[in-house]
Amino acid sequence: MKRTLHILYQSVPNISGSSTRSKNLIDAQRKLGLNPVVITSPFQKGEDKNRDEIDGVSYYRTQIVGTRNINVSEQKKSFWIKLLKGISFLYFAIKVINLVRKEKIDIIHSHATFYCALAGIIAGGVCRRPTIYEVRSLWYERRPAKTILNRIEKEFYKKLEQLSIVCSKKIVCINKILKEHLVKQLFIKEDKISVVSNAVDVKWLESLPLKKRNSNALRFGYIGSISPIEGLELTIEAFKNDITLKSHPFYVYGGGPKEYISKLKTQASANFKFLGQIKKAFIGEAYNLIDVIVIPRPPSLITNTVTPLKPLEGVGAGKIVVVSDIPPMHEIIEDQKTGFFFKSTSYNDLVDTLKKIISKYSEISEYEKQVEGSKKIVLEKYSWFNNALQYKSLYETI
């Protein structure tokens, strides 16, 4: 069986959609007998400074003294922090090369961003190992472009991502839309890119101490990263101004840029509560407080090419999920079956959709019938074990 090295920019214990996907797919690969090994960037803290053992998988840490205060987050970085990150790249690439040799790695699987991809490509060239790059988003599109320097920086990151994609032997995307975008933009052959969608950790979801609803009053909420691309302003407006929605609570769990979260808090009404980031061990408590999860992402180049993990997880946890009708959502949610769509950025359609849900599903029996049916579909169709089989087939081709 081929031995694979996963190169991660961020990982557990950091909580994000990216680290969650990485953890789930690596665990699934291990259960399938693929024997994965992990190395993380100099900006990812671990329990041990050299190596953590997490659920039977070795996570090699590379953090150095100068990078200890650099967090993996969306917080704005100073010029000196960015410079330090650039300088640390050569050190990281050498660490990857040494680990490939030490662990007798057969395949190098780098995960977003280019920082990991280029380190993997260099190690692959030195050690003569094939490289896979997993592209999860056009993340650089989040970068500001207000000044000339901003635009230069954004274009620089874009070119590094493109270089990483062109130089890797195989590419993995998380949805068909992102694949189509890369094929058109970079003139890459379609057979170079495989699509492995997001999935849910079935065993973990089944282990959550989830409680049945005991009240006809529906509670709404959001669990995930808090950033401008998520469109929470629309839900704040809806629960602040609509008479029906005003009587229902909306709970938000998640972290993000402090200034942005503070701005949202000033816009929100009293029924819209920000409860902070929650550890995975306590996620069941968040789900027990929420009956309907609302994910109002507006359209943009990045959101139109990224498939979020939270809609699937929410359905798998037995919740009604309401999502905007941006393209990636249609790949994972079936309208009226596993979730409900509203027209993206439309205040009126969001309000109408939520009021219809209140009207139909406030009664517990109707609610339970809906969530049990949608949960069954998602757990059968979107499991990490099925995804691990896809990775196994991909590894066998190189």
CATH C-level class of 202-381: alpha beta
- The structural domains of the chain, with segments of one domain joined by +, span 4-199+383-395, 202-381
Residues 15 and 18: their CA atoms lie apart, in Å, by: 8
Q: Quick one: CATH architecture of 4-199+383-395?
A: 3-Layer(aba) Sandwich (3.40)
Is there a cis peptide before residue 13, judged by omega within 30 degrees of 0?
yes
Query: What is this structure's pTM?
Result: 0.87
Are 4-199+383-395 and 202-381 the same fold in CATH? yes
Q: Kindly give the confidence (pLDDT) of every residue in the chain, 398 residues in length, as a single tens digit, with 9 standing for 90 and above.
A: 789 999 999 999 887 778 989 999 999 999 999 999 999 999 898 888 899 999 999 999 998 755 554 555 555 566 677 788 888 999 999 999 999 999 999 999 999 999 999 999 999 999 999 999 999 998 888 777 789 988 998 999 999 999 999 999 999 999 999 999 999 988 899 999 999 999 999 999 999 999 989 888 999 999 999 999 999 999 999 999 999 999 999 999 999 999 999 999 999 999 999 999 998 889 999 999 999 999 999 999 999 999 999 999 999 999 999 999 999 999 999 999 999 999 999 999 999 999 999 999 999 999 999 999 999 999 999 999 999 999 999 999 99
- CA angle (296, 298, 304) in 5-degree steps: 115
Number of residues in the chain: 398
- For helices 232-241 and 347-361, the axis angle rounded to 10 degrees is 60
Sheet strands (E) in the chain = 4-8, 37-40, 51-54, 57-60, 107-111, 131-135, 170-173, 193-195, 220-223, 250-253, 272-274, 292-295, 320-324, 340-342
